[in-house]
Chains A and B, each alone.
Chain A
Amino acid sequence: MRVTQGTFSFLPDLTDKQIKAQIQYALDQGWALNVEYTDDPHPRNTYWEMWCVPMFDTKDAAAVLLEVNECRKVYGNMYIKVNSFDNSRWRESQSMSFIVNRPKEEPGFGVARDAGPGRSLRYRVHSYATDKPEGARYK
């Protein structure tokens, strides 16, 4: 399966040149970027690990791309995404998010169902990768 979180997951994986263009767009809007990674891509895993805090003072797309590639060197077989943060009043939230690295094999998720009264079901979406301990989830 292919985790399709983030804005460009339905397109072929972005090249570094394409990633840099997206970073440049965010910088042009005045947004700060950071890089995050995880080995648990559950849809409700809100907090991926921060490779770096948002780079509020970095205005150079190449410098941000460098962080992406540094992160890949260490966590090259995990999910890595680039986020941008817009601190303007009335938004003060994330403005972009897209995956720039993913494991070679994505085991995906299963659904566990507990039958309850009235035909209702308690669902549990379960990430197969997390069956293994942290650090051993993707080879």
Chain B
Amino acid sequence: MAELKGADRYKAGVLEYKQMGYWQPDYVPKETDVIALFRITPQPGVPADEAAAAVAGESSTATWTVVWTDRLTAADTYRAKAYRVDKVPNTDDQYFAYIAYDMDLFEPDSIANLTASIIGNVFGFKAVKALRLEDMRMPVAYLKTFQGPATGINVERERLDKFGRPLLGATVKPKLGLSSKNYGRVVYEALKGGLDFTKDDENINSQPFMHWRDRFLYCMEGVTKAEAATGEVKGTYMNVTAGTMDEMIRRAEFAYELGSVIIMIDLVIGYTAIQTMAKWARQHDMILHLHRAGNSTYSRQKNHGMNFRVICKWMRMAGVDHIHAGTVVGKLEGDPLMIKGFYDTLRDPHTPESLEHGLFFEQDWASLRKVMPVASGGIHAGQMHQLLHYLGEDVILQFGGGTIGHPDGIAAGATANRVALEAMILARNEGKDYMAEGPDILAKAAKDCSPLQKALDTWKDITFNYESTDTPDFVPVETPSI
């Protein structure tokens, strides 16, 4: 049924969302609109355009029944407008719905406020069987209200004095149980051996076996000794995640007093806590690392939840400097094309629409700084050519097991990774086809470096060939608008 106007629209009772004005197929989004793209699976019997209108309604001004108080407002402005619905290629019951929101629906500089609308009540809404937020387009004027990354890739590199190659890191393992003193040993060995960073794991906070102050003190000893042993700037991501904001700030301030260049937080602390820490990090000249703990609970299934590329966008706005964004070749979920979409979102000043990479909208990043993606989880030196090919130069390659599990020890594992990386960069810059010649390049480099030889021998056959669940829904033809 068509949209109703005037007194008919506001008669007490229940209307279809389309009748209430949330379906506007002729609407042309403004430059200043926020646009969200949802994947909708309507309940049987609910037409796609009505389902889209319902999502628009429930994520903006609507409630279940008509309210006359709408008429006290410029309701047309505040009503979100579903303006396009496309059937998802190769599915029976899924639709992409494009919904435009006036920028003034959202508080400036608040991811919490944005998300309370966009992924709020609407995800439990009965009219849709499942709902997934696939992508968003942020208007420049809105982006300009956000700080963006505290440090950004360019400044991070200048502070670390490391240019022209990916950075190398390792997560201290085992995740749980090490005493502070033993923990600092891993930090020292890995950094001395050639890594740039070591990292607390996401669930290392302040447990009975190791309290945070003690860990920070021993880690700083490891970092400083490694700086002296190599002449390089080194860092360890000190995880300040805690139960309250006050406690996180207390831990961050201690890391700052100790002279650490970087602190770390987990995604599970929430959007407001992340923004708070990003502002703190900017004020204290600290790099802010974000571990994406928890994201797969809502990003992995194709029909419900949200795509990780939206998290990438929000986190760039919120102001983190690092975020784990997939490896392509490692143990965690990741289709190469999808991961390119995440990486571009984090690093590029401007991303064009690219359905192949899951980017549904052109996005101007409005001079927000660049986020360094982190590739972590089941990667090793023998994959160096693939990692460089898929992930590029502005990335942190994080080899946890691939450093600490080296048969000759942690420092040897670190050296193997660094030599493999430097050999690959050298070859790439010399114009070699490093993807094709990768194994040869590594084998040659290993002749001057026995730790690399041992790493290659130990992990030569380790690959993780599982099919990705998050793949592009894209066929290179126009799908009709219904």
State which size class the interface on A falls in.
Answer: 35 or more
**Is B158 within 8 A of A94, CB to CB?**
yes
**Is B349 within 8 A of A7, CB to CB?**
no
Point out the residues of chain A lying under 8 angstroms from B430, CB to CB.
Answer: 18, 21-22, 25
Q: How far is the CA of A84 from the CA of B393 in the complex (A)?
A: 15
Q: Which of B133-141, B223-231, B308-316 contacts A (4 or more CB under 8 A)?
A: B223-231
Is A4 part of the binding interface, using a Cβ–Cβ cutoff of 8 Å?
A: yes
**Is B161 within 8 A of A89, CB to CB?**
no
Nearest CB of B to A34, in Å: 13
The answer to whether residues A3 and B231 also contact, given A22-B429, A25-B429, A91-B154 and a CB cut-off of 8 A, is: yes
Point out the residues of chain B lying under 8 angstroms from A12, CB to CB.
Answer: 448
**Is A11 within 8 A of B220, CB to CB?**
no
**Is B233 within 8 A of A44, CB to CB?**
yes
Point out the residues of chain B lying under 8 angstroms from A46, CB to CB.
Answer: 161
Point out the residues of chain B lying under 8 angstroms from A5, CB to CB.
Answer: 161, 230-232
Is B288 part of the binding interface, using a Cβ–Cβ cutoff of 8 Å?
A: no
The answer to whether residues A89 and B349 also contact, given A7-B165, A11-B423 and a CB cut-off of 8 A, is: yes
Is B217 part of the binding interface, using a Cβ–Cβ cutoff of 8 Å?
A: yes
Point out the residues of chain B lying under 8 angstroms from A41, CB to CB.
Answer: 231
- B307-349 interface mask toward A, CB cutoff 8 Å, 1 = contact, 0 = none? 0000000000000000000000000000000000000000001
The answer to whether residues A121 and B429 also contact, given A4-B231, A10-B194 and a CB cut-off of 8 A, is: no
The DSSP consensus for interface residues of chain B is helix
Q: How far is the CA of A21 from the CA of B227 in the complex (A)?
A: 30
Nearest CB of A to B110, in Å: 26
Q: How far is the CA of A123 from the CA of B257 in the complex (A)?
A: 11
Point out the residues of chain B lying under 8 angstroms from A9, CB to CB.
Answer: 422
Nearest CB of B to A120, in Å: 7
**Is B232 within 8 A of A4, CB to CB?**
yes
Is B67 part of the binding interface, using a Cβ–Cβ cutoff of 8 Å?
A: no
Is A114 part of the binding interface, using a Cβ–Cβ cutoff of 8 Å?
A: no
- B211-238 interface mask toward A, CB cutoff 8 Å, 1 = contact, 0 = none? 0010001001100110111111100000
Nearest CB of A to B399, in Å: 15
Is B425 part of the binding interface, using a Cβ–Cβ cutoff of 8 Å?
A: yes
**Partner pick for B419 among A11, A21, A94, A111, CB 8 A cutoff:** A11
Nearest CB of A to B409, in Å: 17
Is A8 part of the binding interface, using a Cβ–Cβ cutoff of 8 Å?
A: yes
Task: Count chain A CB atoms within 10 A of each CB in B221, B228, B257 and give the residue with the most.
Answer: B228
Residues of A85-130 whose CB lies within 8 A of B: 89-98, 108-111, 118-121, 123, 125
Is A42 part of the binding interface, using a Cβ–Cβ cutoff of 8 Å?
A: yes
Q: How far is the CA of A118 from the CA of B258 in the complex (A)?
A: 12
**Is A121 within 8 A of B154, CB to CB?**
no
The answer to whether residues A90 and B370 also contact, given A7-B422, A11-B419, A22-B426 and a CB cut-off of 8 A, is: yes
**Is B224 within 8 A of A43, CB to CB?**
no
- B391-422 interface mask toward A, CB cutoff 8 Å, 1 = contact, 0 = none? 00000000000000000000000010011001
**Partner pick for A119 among B217, B232, B426, B429, CB 8 A cutoff:** B217
Is B445 part of the binding interface, using a Cβ–Cβ cutoff of 8 Å?
A: yes
Point out the residues of chain B lying under 8 angstroms from A120, CB to CB.
Answer: 217, 257-258
Is B175 part of the binding interface, using a Cβ–Cβ cutoff of 8 Å?
A: no
Residues of B419-468 whose CB lies within 8 A of A: 419, 422-423, 425-426, 429-431, 445, 448-449
**Partner pick for A96 among B164, B221, B370, CB 8 A cutoff:** B164
**Is B233 within 8 A of A43, CB to CB?**
yes
**Is B419 within 8 A of A10, CB to CB?**
yes
Nearest CB of B to A16, in Å: 14
Nearest CB of B to A13, in Å: 11
Nearest CB of B to A40, in Å: 10
Is A1 part of the binding interface, using a Cβ–Cβ cutoff of 8 Å?
A: yes
**Is B415 within 8 A of A111, CB to CB?**
no
Q: How far is the CA of A5 from the CA of B233 in the complex (A)?
A: 8
Known contacts A21-B431, A108-B228, A111-B225; can you find 7 more A-B pairs with CB under 8 A?
A4-B418, A7-B163, A7-B165, A7-B425, A43-B233, A96-B163, A109-B231
A residues apposed to B, CB below 8 Å: 1, 3-5, 7-12, 18, 21-22, 25, 41-44, 46, 83-84, 89-98, 108-111, 118-121, 123, 125
Q: List, sorted by A's number, 9 A–B pairs whose CB atoms are closer than 8 Å.
A: A25-B431, A42-B231, A93-B154, A93-B157, A97-B162, A109-B228, A111-B224, A123-B224, A125-B227
